[in-house]
Amino acid sequence: AVSGFGYLFARPIVASCNQAIWQSKVPFDLQGRVFSLQRALERSLLVLAHLSAGPLVDGLLEPMMADNGLLAGSIGRIIGTGTGRGISLLFLVLGISTIVVAILAYRTPRLRRIEQELPDAIASHLEGAAS
């Protein structure tokens, strides 16, 4: 519950910062194409995630988290065993993966300095319109 709150609290902040960077860095005349491609990729991956999550949980993770399953003696001691623990393991792995990716992204200097290194498309567009 605590990790779910943390994710749901941080998600709008991350999404709005991401969108602000894209909107300020992509030239106006390309924004429609870039944003539609970005959205298409996001939605395609979302569909893939939804299609694969059920079989992954039911066929692999749920049996591993059964009372005498492969992970019952290790991870099962932390999150419990039995029905419903497979999806719990999936959420745990996804949460840890999200944290790892965030740390790696933060440790990437070029990504941290994107605001300084990449010129704003908005400023260059407005300068061209003013002359």
Distances (CA, A) of 15 to 10, 36, 127: 9, 16, 28
Count of domains observed in the chain: 1
Tell me: pLDDT of 3 over 70: no
HSE-up (13 A, CA, CB side) for residue 56: 12
pLDDT (tens digit per residue) in 117-127: 989 986 555 55
Tell me: pLDDT of 54 over 90: yes
Tell me: pLDDT of 95 over 90: no
114's tokens: 């994107």
Q: How far is it, in rounded angstroms, from Cα 109 to Cα 49?
A: 30
Any alpha helices (H) in the chain, and if so which ranges? 2-25, 28-56, 62-64, 75-79, 85-106, 109-112, 114-117, 121-130
Predicted TM-score (pTM) of the model is 0.75
**Domain residue limits at 103:** 2-130
Per cent of the chain over pLDDT 70 is 89
